Every structure is written in structure tokens, then in C-alpha cells.
Amino acid sequence: MPELPEVETTVAGLRPVLEGQRLTLVEPRRADLRWPIPVDLRQRMTGAVVTSLGRRAKYGLVETDRGDMMIFHLGMSGRWRIDPEEIEKHDHLLLETESGHRLALNDPRRFGSLDIVRTADLANYRPFILMGPEPLGDDFTGEYLKIATRDRKAPIKQLLLDQRIVAGLGNIYVCEALHMAGISPRAQGGAISKPRYQRLVDTIKRVLIAAIAAGGSSLRDFVQPSGELGYFAKDWLVYGREGEACQCGALVQRRVDSGRSTFYCSRCQK
């Protein structure tokens, strides 16, 4: 599933061809993805000028001069294609700009979503209401994380994946950050000290920034809007490396928690 760095990379790839452009065509090619596409999406977006693009957690945001915000989620296999030579079966939304660019939102598994809200009401968009702070924001600190997990006996990995605690973190980057911070994925959240939490927060930010700079991780179907692959996967220290040697010489282990694979080193992570 595309995670925060992949969505950030996607938004950065869309910005040069969409920002400041008038949309001359907005064509949903099916009625739904993970849930129904708003029936007024075409009407509200056609003719509008895209004023900015951004991201909240794993959602991309496309703001227009009409005070509307189109919100997209890439789900398990979604990606945007810029100026495709042909329209494919799984291109479920087509956009055309006044400058002549064509964009297609492609999602074979249809676990993604499309929505539109008034920009002024964005904070009240249902998926965003209970979300925690952005992991790259100033509000995400060791002190915050210590308070947010106070008295919690759940494993720290599970807590970091809880969007109510921190928004946008996913399995890949949580595994990597916990390894780099030397914290076991099974450590109880409430038992981790504030200094260790600060080290974890610093590591999370460092991992995400590095992943964004590398264009994300190309896992399964994800590619950038330009068609290029993300190259951060070559820098994974533990994720997907079960049975391989950790930097310390011990073997990377894998366990399954709540249906997700957890990769870690029992020697490095306590």
C-alpha cells in the first residue's frame, strides 16, 4: 500500500502539471472505488483552476479556486499517470488541463477513493476528524508521543500504526524507524521512556525524509506519476529482509501481527 512518502512523491509529481491550471475535462469512468464517487464531482471540478496540491496523512489534496478540495486515496494499488498514450481499463478518473495535459487515476484493485469537500470544512472531513498530528510536523515530538501512549500496554508498533496517535505512518516505515531507534516492535508503549521516544520521533522523521527524497518505495504496483520507480527500497535495513543479516550480524526476523508482517532484529531492538 502506498504510504506517506509515496503520497508525498505523487503530489510532488502532479504539482507541475496541475497547479495553476484550469481543468477542461473531469471524467469519472465508474460510479465508485472503495466507496461511491460523489455524483457532483464532475460539475464542481470542471472549469475550476487548481490553486494548490497537498497531503494529509495518506490522502492527496487538490484545491481549486471555487473553494472545493478534491481528496484522493491510492488504496492498495492506485497511481496517477501523466499523459498516458492510451486510456486503460483501470483508469477510473480522467483529468485534462487547459495546457493540454491529460492525467489518469489508475486503480486496478479499487481500494482507493475519490471525494470532494468544501476547503473550509476539510478539518471536519470524516477520516480526518480523529487523526493525530503529521509525523513531519512540529507537533509530533517525543513528549507528545509519551503522553499519547501513557499507560498503554499495546505494542509500540501497533500504536504507531494507529492514525489517531500519528497520521500517515504505515508498516514499512514503522518497521524501519523502530529498527533504527533500537526499539523492539513488541515493547509496551507506556513503558518506553521519554528520551527513547524522542529518539524514535527523530528517527521517524529522518526515515520519512529520506524515503521522500528517494521517490518512495516501489512495492508491488506503485510508481511515481512520471512512471519512474521509487528507490528507497534498496535502503531498507529490515523490511522484507527475513533471514538476511542485519548490520549487527544477527538475522532479520519476521512475525505476523494483526495480519501485518513485522521485520526486526532481536539483537538490535530491545
Catalytic residue among 3, 6, 134, 176: 3
Our CA angle for 205, 207, 209, nearest 5°, is 65
Q: What is the 3-state secondary structure (H, E, C) of 101-167?
A: CEEEEECCCCCCEEEEEEHHHHHHCHHHCCCCCCCCCCCCCHHHHHHHCCCCCCEHHHHHCCCCCCC
**2 belongs to the catalytic site:** yes
The CA-to-CA distance between both ends of the chain, in Å, stands at: 28
Which residue is catalytic, options 22, 42, 186, 260?
A: 260
C-alpha cell, 35 = 466507496
Q: Which of the residues 2, 5, 135, 225 is marked catalytic? A: 2
Catalytic-role residue among 58, 81, 146, 196: 58
Q: Is 85 a catalytic residue?
A: no
Q: DSSP 3-state assignment of 18?
A: helix
Q: Which amino acid is at 35?
A: W
- CA dist., res. 19 & res. 22, Å (int): 9
SS3 assignment, position 70: strand
In DSSP notation, 37-50 reads PPTTHHHHHTTPBE
Is 3 catalytic? The answer is: yes
Distance CA 236, CA 171 (A): 12
- Read off φ and ψ for residue 143, nearest 5 degrees: -65, -45
Q: What is the rounded CA–CA span in Å between residue 73 and residue 107?
A: 10
Does 244 participate in catalysis according to the annotation? Answer: no
Catalytic residues: 2-3, 58, 260
